[in-house]
Amino acid sequence: MDNVFIERLWRSLKYECVYLHAFETGSELRAGLERWIRYYNTRRPHSALTGQTPNEAYHQIAPAPSPGHASETVPITALAA
């Protein structure tokens, strides 16, 4: 199950970008991949994210820390005491 997400990403990349375009040089391929990854992260809705893009899902407010876990805002000096 660990690889399922990355395998799905590579499958989408191949079928939605690489196989549809006849890139003739490495620089064309790189530019095409950069455009597709930007599209994938910013404009392509994902069903697993309830229709959000990865950027929208990532930039939402982070959930509160779980009970029993230290807050990330504790000053380092407080830890030394």
Q: What is the mean pLDDT of the chain?
A: 81
Q: Are 45 and 52 in contact (CB under 8 A)?
A: yes
| Distance, CA of 24 to CA of 18 (rounded, Å) | 11
**Which pLDDT tens digit goes with each residue over 27-45?**
999 999 999 999 998 999 8
> Terminal CA-to-CA distance of the chain, rounded, Å?
43
Q: pTM of this prediction? A: 0.64
Q: In the prediction, which pLDDT does 59 show?
A: 87
Q: Which 8-state DSSP code applies to residue 57?
A: H
Q: Which residues contact 60 (CB under 8 A, 6 or more apart)?
A: none
Dihedral over alpha carbons 12, 18, 20, 22 (to 10 degrees): 180
